Structure 1
Amino acid sequence: MHLLLTLAMIAGAPAPAEPAPTPSESYAVYDRITHRVTGKDVHKPIRSASLVKILIAIEQLETRGNDPRIEPMLRSSDDNAASELWVENGWEQLVVRTADRIGLEDTRPPENRGMWGYTAVSAYDVVKTYRYVLEKAKPSVRRTIMGHLQRATKCASDGFDQSFGLPSATWKPAFKQGWSGFGDPEKPCVDRPRPRIQWDLDLKSPAMHTSGTCLFSIVAVLTLHPQGTTYKQAAKRVTRVTEEVTKHRC
């Protein structure tokens, strides 16, 4: 009798709560003087969000020439410009070609060819992409890409403030940011933000990345956050991590 009662009580007891998901980060820092890469989980695959726009720019510039849409795509992270160039440059094959040309180890095209933000990258590959632009690309390609990243705007075209991470933690960086899964901005950074394209929305594990150059370093900080994390909370965390990994470097 007591055994049956005990079993009934166990069966009716609520299941133990699952532990809350915790944020995660991976990062890589390349020292252009010592030529060393340091970091954490440097080869961990993570969806690129808007960091793939650097690959889009490389492919466009190296195979088809300059295009006026590259400027808003890189400076204000314009999704419409990126989507048009993505399609015109071969959809997911753009990633295959650029990854092969640059020698990226962890970069893979998205399973759904229309969702360019789901391209898989790693902190190591993001740093290697910047190295390619700075060290191997033609001068015209390097000047165009780095020139736009040096003039990146505070406000992105979709209304988000993209001054987190490197621009908040370092001095005069050239930078490209990425974010995904935060819905629409609560307080748009511009008066009339453009609507976000459908495939840039991700309701799982909001992502926020910062990447670029500062002084003699190339930096990539890629982060994922629990659902429900606000853009402001994620931005503060990315900036804090960036401050830690760039300390005494930039």
Structure 2
Amino acid sequence: MRIKPFAAVAVAVPLLAAPLAVLAPPALATAGPPRVPAGTTAAWVVFDRQAGRFVAARNAHRKYRSASVVKILIAIDYLERRASVPREDAALLKVMLRASDDDAASAFWDRGGKGRIIVRMARKLGLSDTAPPPASQPGFWGYTSLSAYDIVRTYRYLLDTADARVRDTILGHLRQAAPCGTDGFDQTFGIPDAVPRPYAVKQGWSGFGATPPTRCRDAKALGAPVSWIAQRSTGSGVPDYGRPVLHTTGLVGKGERYVMAVLTAHPAGGTWSASVKRITAIARGLYRDVTS
């Protein structure tokens, strides 16, 4: 069945709206310290859980294609629609969340109804900028649109609202994210390289080609085919189509005090190494700014 493009959901379900709406300011301030290089588009949001407020934001509601960050929503949807998880699916969740495995994500995506997963999650979590892939590309979960604001809201849902079973499963895996994705790309850019441990992270990348410039060699994470999202980049209605994107998101600071999302789009033809340096510098500057 063809999936119609999803309009941004403005009203959250009552379960989520009360605790999050109180803490969400009507307009987020713009943080200044991190420098964004020419040709790079960047957005970020940082929420201080201890203070109960947003402490940094830039382009908070700008839409980016999700790349692998959408795997968090896929996991939430899967876990909340069943009381127990078969051993085989538990293994798929583990490799999808820790090593960003694309085949595992595709298995859950197909079973969950593809874009209907995003429709359900956007409505339930009150995500204002999140929409499924274009109707012409229903199988491309990495073409989901989302924003830094919505990613932070998703982490807050896991921390404050989700059932403990769902929260502990997903965040437990993100706290043990592998250095390497199963496609051979190094996942230690952004937060892992810029912020002291401990942290829980979900990274995303797309548009850098099928072969990583320097193959990551974590034997536990390797073994799957290269990312098909990186190989098949056709279609329209996709944010930053034709430009590589790189995202770093997660929980950082002592006691996981901060929820951080940094999304970036880089110049067409931009290299992996240069893009990694840019987003890591932004994450480092942002962390120093909010913790100083």
TM-score range, shorter chain: 0.7 to 0.9
- Offset, 1:120: 0.3
Runs of 4+ deviating beyond 2 Å: 64-67, 190-203
**Percent same amino acid among aligned pairs?**
44
The residue identity in structure 1 corresponding to 2:207 is G
Superposition map of 1:149-188 within 5 A: 149-171=174-196, 172-183=198-209, 184-188=211-215
Q: Does 1:136 align with 2:161?
A: yes
- Offset, 1:199: 3.6
Superposition map of 1:109-120 within 5 A: 109-111=132-134, 112-120=137-145
- More deviation, 58-67/164-173: 58-67
- Structure 1 vs Structure 2 CA RMSD: 1.5
Kept in 2, the 8 Å contact 1:28–1:220? The answer is yes
State the alpha-carbon separation in 1 of the partners of residues 273 and 227 from structure 2: 21
- More deviation, 194-203/75-84: 194-203
The residue identity in structure 2 corresponding to 1:218 is V
Tell me what 1:33 maps to: 50
Kept in 2, the 8 Å contact 1:217–1:249? The answer is no
- Offset, 1:249: 4.3
- Offset, 1:194: 2.8
Query: Structure 1 stretches of 5 or more lacking a match?
Result: 1-20
1:239 pairs, out of 256, 268, 280, with 280
Kept in 2, the 8 Å contact 1:117–1:200? The answer is no
Tell me what 2:237 maps to: none
User: Max radius of gyration: which structure?
Assistant: 1
How big is each residue's C-alpha offset from its partner over 1:192-242, in whole Å with a ceiling of 9 and x where there is no partner? 653234344347100000000012100000000012211111111111000
State the alpha-carbon separation in 2 of the partners of residues 237 and 115 from structure 1: 26
Could you state the TM-score of these two structures normalised by the residue count of structure 1?
A: 0.88
- Offset, 1:36: 1.7
Q: Does 1:206 align with 2:224?
A: no
How big is each residue's C-alpha offset from its partner over 1:127-164, in whole Å with a ceiling of 9 and x where there is no partner? 00000001100011111011000000001100000000
Tell me what 1:60 maps to: 78
State the alpha-carbon separation in 2 of the partners of residues 199 and 32 from structure 1: 34
Query: Structure 2 stretches of 5 or more lacking a match?
Result: 1-37, 234-240
The residue identity in structure 2 corresponding to 1:165 is G
2:110 pairs, out of 64, 87, 91, with 87
SS state at 2:74 partner: helix
The residue identity in structure 2 corresponding to 1:195 is P
Kept in 2, the 8 Å contact 1:49–1:200? The answer is no
Q: Does 1:228 align with 2:269?
A: yes
SS state at 1:211 partner: strand
Tell me what 1:78 maps to: 101
Kept in 2, the 8 Å contact 1:110–1:116? The answer is yes
Kept in 1, the 8 Å contact 2:208–2:230? The answer is no
State the alpha-carbon separation in 1 of the partners of residues 121 and 275 from structure 2: 30
SS state at 2:261 partner: strand
Kept in 2, the 8 Å contact 1:114–1:199? The answer is no
How big is each residue's C-alpha offset from its partner over 1:30-51, in whole Å with a ceiling of 9 and x where there is no partner? 1102222221000001100000
- More deviation, 57-66/98-107: 57-66
The residue identity in structure 1 corresponding to 2:260 is V
